[in-house]
A and B are shown apart, each in its own frame.
Chain A
Amino acid sequence: MTATAPPPETRPQGDPSRLPPEMRFSPSNWLRKNLFNNWYNTLITVVAVVVGAILLFYGGRFIFVTGQWEAVRKNLTLLMMGVYPRNEQWRLVAQMYLVASALGLAWGTVTARSHDRAEETGVVAQRATPRDLLRRYWSILLLLAVILVFTRTIWPTLFTLSTIAVGLAVRAGAMRLPPSSRRICGYAAAFMAIVSFQVVSGASGSAWWWTSALFALAAFQLTSARDLTKYLGTTMNWPIFGRTRLVTARDLVRLKRFAQILAVVAAVVVVRIAYWLIGDTSSVSWDDWSGLYLTLVASGAAIILSFPLALLLAVGRRSSLPAIRWLCVSYIELFRGVPFIVLLFVAKIFIDFFLNIDTPLSLTTRTIIVFTIFSSAYLAEVVRGGLQAVPRGQIEAGQAVGLQPPAVMRLIVLPQALRAVIPAMVGQFISLYKDSTLFTFISVVEFYRARELIHSQQEFTTTAIAETLVFVAFAYWAISYTMSKESQRLERHLGVGER
C-alpha cells in the first residue's frame, strides 16, 4: 500500500487473492491477449506468421532485388505526362506552381476562417502537427517519394520540393490576410487554377477573348464587393480626392467606380500580357494531355462538372411534378444501368453523329463529356440519399417562416443534405478516379494506357510486365487510399450518423 492509495469506498472490498488480476500493458500481455488467447487462435497466428513471412520475403525480393525497374525509370515521363510535347514541359511546371499557389491560398483562407470561427465559439482550434499530417498523407507522400526515386535528373525533385514550398508559403501568407480579403482570395485561387489550365492547354484563336471577358467580369465582381471598398476607403488616405479629409459615402461610391474601371482595364491588359508570355501555342492543345496528368485532370473535371448536374437530377427526382420526376429517374437509371465502358465506346464511335456539327469534337472532349454524364447519374443518387435524410420538420419550419420553395431548398435542405453525404461523395470520387482506367479501351492515353505503351516498345514487349503493373497499381492505390482515409476522417469530423 502506498500513500496515494484510492479512498476506501471506491476500492473493491474483500480478500486480495480473489480480486481480478491487475491488467497492465506489457508486450507479453498484449501478445497473449491478441494472438495466443486459445489453441485455435495460436494455430491461426502461426499459420498467418508463416504465410505473411513468405509473402513479405517474395514481395521484398521482387521490389528490392529481382524487379527490373528499368522499364519504369526509362519511361517515367511517359507515365506522368504521356505524349505531351517534350519541349513544352515548362507549361506543366508553370501549372504546378500556379495550382500550388491556388491551393495554398484556398487552404490558408479556409483554415484562417475556421480558426476565427473556433475562436468566436470559444473552442480551441487544434493545429495539425507534422506527425498528424504524415499519418494522414503517408501513402501519397510515399508515392511522391517513389516517383522521385525513379527520376534520372535532379530537376523533378527540385521542382516538386519548390512547388510544395510555394504552396506552404502562400498558405502562410493567406492566413495572415485580414478577414475582409477572404472573398478575394477565393476568386484569386479559382482564377489561378483557370489560368494554369490556359497555360497548359495552350491559347489559340478565340481563347484570349473569352478569357479576357471572364477576367474582366471577375475583376468587376471583385471590386463591387462592399467589404473591399470599405477596406480601401477606411484604411488609406487616398490622394486622388485632392486633399486629406474624412472619407464620405459619396467618396466610397466614386472610389468604387474608379476601382471597377481600373480593375476591368487591368484584367484585360494582364490577360493580353499573359497571352503574349504564353506565346503562340498552336503546338499544344488539350488533346496532348495524357498520362497520370490526364487521369487526374479528367477525373477532376468530371467531378466538378457533374456536381451541378447531379444536384439538379437529385432535386428533380424528388420533385412533386411526375413528368420531371420520371425524366430524372430515366436519366439516372439509364446511365447507372449501363457499364461505363459502353458509354465510352458511344463517345468514341458516334457521339458526333448525334450533334449536327462540322468539325468533330476531340477524343478528350468526348471522353470528358461522357464521363460527366456517367458520374452525374451516380452522384445524383448519392445526393438523393442526403435529401431523404433531411427531416420533414426542417422543410416545414422553412415554409412556416414564409420561405419560397427554392429558398427552402437552397438555405435549409441542401446544406444539411450535402453535409450528410460528403463522405459518400468522396467514395464516389474514388470510384470515378478508378473508372478513368477504362479510357484505355478507346485509346485515350491516360495513366494505364501509358503503361501499355511502354510494353509496345521493342525493349519491353515481354519483360517487366509485373513491374510496370505494380507501379501503376501503387499510384492508383496511393491516391485512392488517401481519399478514402480523408473521407473516413471527414465522416468522424462531421459526426454523420451520430446526430
Chain B
Amino acid sequence: MSSPADFASTQADLTAVPSAPFSRRVLALLADLLILILVGVISVWQLGIRLLDNYSDIPELALAWVFAAAVPAAIVAIVVIDAVRIGQTPGMAAAGIRTLHDGTTKRVLPTDDPRVPEPGIPALWRDVRVLRLAAQLLAVVVVVALIRWMFHNLIVRMDEIGLPKGFGFLESPYGVALRDAHGFDVRDPVWKALLIGLQNTVVASVVGIIIATVVGLFVGIARLSSNWLVAKGASLYVESLRNIPPLIVIIFFGSALFTFGPFPRFNPTNPPWQGTFFGSDSNWIIVSRDRWAIPSLASESNVGVFWLLVLAAAIIAVAVWQWRTRRNNATGEPHHRVLWSVGAFTVIMVACFAALGGPYSWSWPAVSENGRRVVGGFSTNSGYMALTLGLGLYTASFVAEIIRGSILAVPKGQTEAATSVALKSSQRYRHVVLPQAQRIAIPPYISECANLIKNTSLGLAVAYPDLFLVAVTAWGINFPAPQIILIIMIVYLTMNLIVSALLNVYNRSLQLKER
C-alpha cells in the first residue's frame, strides 16, 4: 500500500507530460472520422430497413424512424456538444489525449493504479451523461416496444374475433334497462348509459364518504373515551370491520339484511312499513326489502333565480367573514366569524325563499295505487343502500383509526402546555389538539376516500348500476370490451388523480404553514 504522498507524486507525473504532439492529433481526427462514419452508416442502414419494412400506416413508420434514429442522433449530439464546449472528442480520448479542466490538452500515459483518476473529460463510453442517456433510452425503447407488441397482438386478435375497433359503438343503443334510472330508455346510446353509471358511482361515493366520515369520527373519538365500555365497544367495531373484506360487508347488507332480512316485502298483499307523522298522511320513511324512501325537495318555480341568490348570499357570507376578521385584527374584539357569516347566509336564504314564494316544496313518499311502486320523495333500491352502508361502515373503521391515531400523535407536551395556561378541556381540544391532529389526519383520510371511490365498483355484487356494472353489462351484450375497459380505466384514473391532486394541494399548504 502506498501513502498519500505517493499518490500525489503520481498525479504530478501525469500532469508533467507535455502537450499532445501533432501526430497524435492527426490520429485523433482519423478516429473521430471513423466514429462518425460508423454512426452514419449504421443509422442510414437502420432507417433503410425501417423504410423497407411494410408498416401499415404513416404514424407507425414515423415511430420506427424515431427509434432507429434516436441512438445515433444522441451519439452525434454528445460528440458535437463535447467538441464545441470543451474541445474534446471521442477520437481524442481514444488517442490518449485529454482535455483538462483548464482547457489545455495533454497526452495521458496509461496507468495501472486504479486510485489514479483519469484527468479531464472521460471517454464517451465512460461518460456518465452518455450512460444515463443510454440507460433511459433503452428502458423507453423496451417498454414502448413491449406495449406496441401487445397492442399489435390485441388488434390482430380483435380482427380475428370480429370485434369492432374505434369508439363508434358508443352511439349504438344500449339495449338494457338500468335499475332506477329515470329518463333512461332502452334505446338510448351506450355513452348515456355509461354517463348514468358514472353519476351513480359519484352519488354512491359521496354518500359513502359522508357515512364513513360521520361514523368514523364518532367511533374514533369513542375509542379515546374515558368510559371503558364505550372505548372497548369502539375498538370491537374497528377491529371486526376492518379485518373483513368489503365485499362481505356489502353482501351482508345486501342479502343477509335486505333480501332475506326482517323487512316486509313490497307487493300489494304485503305492503312496506310506512312511518307517518302523528296525525298526518305523509310518510317520512318507507322501508321494505328492496325499496326505501325518504322525503325530498321538489322544485316548484323560480329555481334558477333562487340558486343565483344562494350564490350571492354565499359571496356576502364570505365578505362578512373577511370583515369580521379585519375588525378582529384592528380592534381585538372577538370576531365570531362563523356565527356572523352563517347567520348572514341563513337570514338572506330564508328571506329569498319567502320572497320567491317557495321555489322548493317537500315531496312526500307514498305507495302507488297498485301497491308496487313508490311515488314521490327520494326512493332508492336495496343495492344502493347495501353499497353505501356497507362501504361507508367498512371505511368508517379505517377513518376511526386515522382519527384516533392523529389525536394520539399530537405530542403530549402540547396538551400539557394547554393545561398549564388554564385552558378548559373543550378549549384545549378546539385550539390546540384538533388543529394539529387535523394536519396529520387529512392525507390518510383522503387516500381512504380514494379507496372508497374505487370500491364502489363492488356495486356489481348488489346489482347497483354504477359505472362498472354498466360496463360489465355492456360487454356482456357484445360491445367491445377493450374499448369499454379503456374508458372506465381512464374515468377511474381521473377520479383518483383529482383526489390525489387535492391531497397534494393540501400537503403544500401544510408545508407553507409550518415554515
Q: Chain A residues in contact with chain B, CB under 8 A? A: 34-35, 37, 41, 44-45, 48-49, 52, 320-324, 327, 333-334, 336-342, 345-346, 349-350, 352-356, 430, 434-435, 437-438, 440-441, 448, 462, 465-466, 469, 472-473, 476-477, 480-481, 484
> Is B229 in contact with A45, judged by CB distance below 8 angstroms?
yes
- Given A44-B230, A338-B489, 7 more A-B residue pairs with CB atoms under 8 Å apart are A35-B227, A44-B229, A52-B229, A321-B139, A341-B460, A349-B475, A350-B157
B158 CB contact (under 8 Å) in A37, A338, A353 = A353
Query: Could you name 22 residue pairs across A and B whose Cβ atoms are closer than 8 Å?
Result: A34-B226, A34-B228, A34-B229, A48-B227, A321-B132, A337-B496, A338-B454, A338-B489, A342-B457, A342-B485, A345-B481, A353-B482, A356-B156, A440-B247, A448-B245, A448-B247, A462-B260, A469-B256, A472-B248, A477-B240, A480-B244, A484-B239
> Is B255 in contact with A465, judged by CB distance below 8 angstroms?
yes
> Is B468 in contact with A353, judged by CB distance below 8 angstroms?
no
Measured CB to CB, the closest approach of chain B to A184, in angstroms, equals 38
A35 to B475 Cα, complex, angstroms: 58
Given A338-B492, A448-B245, A48-B230 contact (CB < 8 Å)? yes
Measured CB to CB, the closest approach of chain B to A63, in angstroms, equals 14
A339 to B461 Cα, complex, angstroms: 14
Q: Point out the residues of chain A lying under 8 angstroms from B227, CB to CB.
A: 34-35, 41, 44-45, 48
Measured CB to CB, the closest approach of chain A to B397, in angstroms, equals 11
> Is B248 in contact with A342, judged by CB distance below 8 angstroms?
no
> Is B150 in contact with A473, judged by CB distance below 8 angstroms?
no
Q: Point out the residues of chain A lying under 8 angstroms from B244, CB to CB.
A: 434, 473, 476-477, 480
> Is B248 in contact with A339, judged by CB distance below 8 angstroms?
no
A356 to B149 Cα, complex, angstroms: 9
Measured CB to CB, the closest approach of chain A to B441, in angstroms, equals 17
Does residue B493 face the partner (Cβ distance < 8 Å to A)? yes
The residue in chain A whose Cβ has the minimal distance to the Cβ of B257 is A466
The residue in chain A whose Cβ has the minimal distance to the Cβ of B146 is A354
> Is B150 in contact with A355, judged by CB distance below 8 angstroms?
yes
Given A41-B227, A327-B143, A448-B245, A339-B457 contact (CB < 8 Å)? yes
> Is A346 in contact with B485, judged by CB distance below 8 angstroms?
yes
Q: Point out the residues of chain B lying under 8 angstroms from A336, CB to CB.
A: 496
Residues of B437-494 whose CB lies within 8 A of A = 454-455, 457-458, 460-461, 468, 472, 475, 481-482, 485, 488-489, 492-493
Q: Point out the residues of chain B lying under 8 angstroms from A333, CB to CB.
A: 493, 496-497
Q: Point out the residues of chain A lying under 8 angstroms from B481, CB to CB.
A: 345, 349-350
A353 to B230 Cα, complex, angstroms: 55
Q: Point out the residues of chain A lying under 8 angstroms from B485, CB to CB.
A: 342, 345-346, 349
Does residue B269 face the partner (Cβ distance < 8 Å to A)? no
A45 to B231 Cα, complex, angstroms: 11
> Is B233 in contact with A52, judged by CB distance below 8 angstroms?
yes
The residue in chain A whose Cβ has the minimal distance to the Cβ of B472 is A345
Residues of B29-56 whose CB lies within 8 A of A = none
Which bracket fits the contact residues of B? Answer: 35 or more
Measured CB to CB, the closest approach of chain B to A399, in angstroms, equals 15
Measured CB to CB, the closest approach of chain B to A260, in angstroms, equals 34
Q: Chain B residues in contact with chain A, CB under 8 A? A: 132, 135-137, 139-140, 143, 149-151, 153-154, 156-158, 225-230, 233, 239-240, 242-248, 251-252, 255-256, 259-260, 454-455, 457-458, 460-461, 468, 472, 475, 481-482, 485, 488-489, 492-493, 496-497
Q: Point out the residues of chain A lying under 8 angstroms from B157, CB to CB.
A: 350, 352-353
The residue in chain B whose Cβ has the minimal distance to the Cβ of A30 is B228
Measured CB to CB, the closest approach of chain B to A71, in angstroms, equals 13
Measured CB to CB, the closest approach of chain B to A402, in angstroms, equals 10
Q: Point out the residues of chain A lying under 8 angstroms from B246, CB to CB.
A: 434
Q: Point out the residues of chain A lying under 8 angstroms from B150, CB to CB.
A: 354-355
B248 CB contact (under 8 Å) in A49, A350, A476 = A476
Measured CB to CB, the closest approach of chain B to A439, in angstroms, equals 10
B493 CB contact (under 8 Å) in A320, A327, A334, A480 = A334
The residue in chain A whose Cβ has the minimal distance to the Cβ of B236 is A52
Given A35-B227, A339-B468, A341-B468, A465-B256 contact (CB < 8 Å)? yes
Q: Point out the residues of chain B lying under 8 angstroms from A352, CB to CB.
A: 157
> Is A477 in contact with B243, judged by CB distance below 8 angstroms?
yes
A332 to B251 Cα, complex, angstroms: 30
Which 6 residue pairs of A and B lie closest in terms of their CB atoms, listed nearest first?
Answer: A323-B136, A480-B243, A34-B228, A337-B496, A434-B245, A354-B150
A323 CB contact (under 8 Å) in B140, B158, B233 = B140
The residue in chain A whose Cβ has the minimal distance to the Cβ of B160 is A353
> Is A339 in contact with B455, judged by CB distance below 8 angstroms?
yes
Given A440-B247, A481-B239, A466-B260 contact (CB < 8 Å)? yes
Q: Point out the residues of chain B lying under 8 angstroms from A345, CB to CB.
A: 472, 481, 485
Q: Point out the residues of chain A lying under 8 angstroms from B135, CB to CB.
A: 321, 324
A448 CB contact (under 8 Å) in B243, B248, B475 = B248
The residue in chain A whose Cβ has the minimal distance to the Cβ of B227 is A41
A52 to B230 Cα, complex, angstroms: 10
Q: Point out the residues of chain B lying under 8 angstroms from A52, CB to CB.
A: 229, 233
A475 to B154 Cα, complex, angstroms: 40
> Is A327 in contact with B140, judged by CB distance below 8 angstroms?
yes
Given A339-B457, A342-B492, A345-B472, A49-B243 contact (CB < 8 Å)? no
Given A48-B230, A49-B229, A323-B139 contact (CB < 8 Å)? yes
A477 to B251 Cα, complex, angstroms: 15
> Is B153 in contact with A356, judged by CB distance below 8 angstroms?
yes
Given A469-B251, A481-B243, A321-B256 contact (CB < 8 Å)? no
Q: Point out the residues of chain B lying under 8 angstroms from A353, CB to CB.
A: 153-154, 157-158, 482
B489 CB contact (under 8 Å) in A342, A441, A473 = A342
A341 to B239 Cα, complex, angstroms: 25
A320 to B133 Cα, complex, angstroms: 11
Measured CB to CB, the closest approach of chain B to A369, in angstroms, equals 13
Q: Point out the residues of chain B lying under 8 angstroms from A321, CB to CB.
A: 132, 135-136, 139
> Is B226 in contact with A37, judged by CB distance below 8 angstroms?
yes
A320 to B242 Cα, complex, angstroms: 38
Measured CB to CB, the closest approach of chain B to A431, in angstroms, equals 9
Measured CB to CB, the closest approach of chain B to A296, in angstroms, equals 14
A435 to B475 Cα, complex, angstroms: 23
A340 to B482 Cα, complex, angstroms: 16
Measured CB to CB, the closest approach of chain A to B333, in angstroms, equals 34
A195 to B229 Cα, complex, angstroms: 50
A458 to B300 Cα, complex, angstroms: 53
Measured CB to CB, the closest approach of chain A to B463, in angstroms, equals 13
Q: Point out the residues of chain A lying under 8 angstroms from B229, CB to CB.
A: 34-35, 44-45, 48-49, 52
> Is A337 in contact with B492, judged by CB distance below 8 angstroms?
yes
A430 CB contact (under 8 Å) in B139, B243, B461, B475 = B243
The residue in chain B whose Cβ has the minimal distance to the Cβ of A340 is B454
B153 CB contact (under 8 Å) in A44, A355, A477, A481 = A355
Q: Point out the residues of chain A lying under 8 angstroms from B458, CB to CB.
A: 341, 438
